[in-house]
Structure 1
């Protein structure tokens, strides 16, 4: 029996209309749809793709604990990969949903590492959170020969400071509980006034604010964008 194909499908940042036509087509065509979820809660990935999922398909929910310790999540990916492997081994194509882009801080990469050595896999890129946040803020990400840097907020202070200092333009992802620390760092470096805070881009309640007006507590889906250069269309 021929094996099924694994499709790693980027869904974009949250607005179903930001899914690609290819993503919509493949989700609707696959007899199996798999997606990550937080234990005990709804799956954001499934919610984004709900209008594309055909009635009666098999659904594989992969509960992934969001804890600082990596072992529980790795065990969840191991178990989820084996459930997906059963479907692929039976000749059934699987649409594995991933918020944003599958290979930019995407959960799909952990399942890809476990399944790609055994099965044919195709990746469908999605609109990344960086692009969505820049669009909501109406801010250029980089211009001309500027170097654009993507940084995770959980980096230790000295490493984060050095990376910010070296960048021309940057996006700091995974702000969440690190907002106060990152804001303090940018203030100390004299860069806070150039920064914009964006949360939940691609969702109905998404918003962009000057960093100085950002809330004290940020959701996980939040980001800081910063360009050190002037307006790219001037001079």
Structure 2
């Protein structure tokens, strides 16, 4: 019999926002796997650290963050090989994933490589979108309102061939994720659409480094773990 592969969502950063199921699986794990960026420390592991017991075997996947997808895909290939060896030996493997495994989560790439051959269970997690709305005090949607979630790199790409006043999708609430180096372009699009006064900037929500402020007051540079919320407020939530 093979082991089971668990894709465990860890939430946005605050360890107390992990689910009870995630904590139980991590605490009982003999083998864990998680991504790192450019050989640095793992944000996912830091969230789960309080539940990782001594002696756990750790599979570290160094994932390059490049425009070219080939290096990252090769890294996931290597990670899948290491995980496959543990599963074939009958060992369960818990893969740590910040946020939710199936919402821009790294686990989905391992899932695609391993799901056909092994039992897999996905444990959902609190997404950064929900966390940012909570810390900003902005309900995302009420009644029949429409929410659009857009990665900043895609929004910046569209700016190259679209009028800034028309670039933002029609919706009641807009969430722009993964700001990083695209903050300047995204801010220009929001200003062009006349929505700067409704835009809130949130950085590293639920962590000790959390920042929440109007986008008009945001710094010139943003980390990857930051987003903008635009809630137009057509419904008063009453």
Mark yes or no: TM-score above 0.5.
yes
1:50 lines up with 2:49 in the alignment: yes
**1:172 equivalent in alignment to 2:171:** no
Q: Output the CA distance in 2 between the equivalents of 1:159 and 1:103.
A: 32
Q: Determine the C-alpha separation between the residues in 1 that align with 2:163 and 2:15.
A: 36
Alignment partner, residue 27 of structure 1: 26
Q: Per-residue deviation at 1:167?
A: 1.5
Whether 2:217 is the aligned partner of 1:225: answer: no
2:139 matched residue in structure 1: 140
State the aligned residue count.
Answer: 233
Unpaired stretches in structure 2, ≥5 consecutive residues: none
- What does residue 108 of structure 1 align with? 107
Contact 2:168 2:193 survives alignment (8 Å): no
| Inter-partner Cα distance in structure 1 for 2:71 and 2:227 | 26
- Indicate the residue corresponding to 1:215 in structure 2: 219
Shift of 1:231: 5.5
Is contact 1:31–1:93 with CA below 8 Å preserved after alignment?
yes
- Of the structure 1 ranges 60-69 and 157-166, higher mean CA displacement relative to structure 2 is found in 157-166
SS of 2:104's partner is coil
CA-CA distance at 1:15 after TM superposition: 0.7
Match of 1:61 in 2: 60
Residues 108-117 or 163-172, more deviating: 163-172
How far apart, CA to CA, are the structure 2 residues paired with 1:51 and 1:88? Answer: 24
Q: Check if 1:130 corresponds to 2:134.
A: no
Question: Any stretches of 5+ residues in structure 1 without a counterpart?
Answer: none
Per the TM alignment, residue 40 of structure 1 is displaced from its structure 2 partner at its CA by 2.3
1:57 Cα deviation after fit: 1.2
Are residues 118 and 144 of structure 1, via their aligned partners in 2, closer, same or farther at CA, if it must alter by over 3 Å? same
TM-score, structure 1 normalization: 0.95
Counterpart for residue 91 of structure 2: 92
Task: Name which of structure 1's ranges 156-165 and 168-177 shifts more when overlaid on structure 2.
Answer: 156-165
Judge which range, 163-172 or 115-124, deviates more. Answer: 163-172
Classify 1:160/1:169 alpha carbon distance in 2 versus 1 (closer, same or farther; 3 Å). Answer: farther
- The within-5 A match list for 1:186-205 is 186-205=190-209
- 2:13 is equivalent to residue 14 of structure 1: yes
Q: 1: distance between equivalents of 2:164 and 2:131?
A: 23
In 1, Cα distance between equivalents of 2:223 and 2:178: 9
Give the superposed CA RMSD.
1.5
| Residue pair 1:153, 1:160 contacting (<8 A) in 2 also | no
Q: SS of the counterpart of 1:122?
A: strand
TM-score (norm 2): 0.94
Deviation at 1:141, TM superposition (A): 0.7
1:67-108 CA distance string (max 9 Å, x none): 111110000000000100000011000000000000000000
Change (3 A) 1:159 1:4: farther
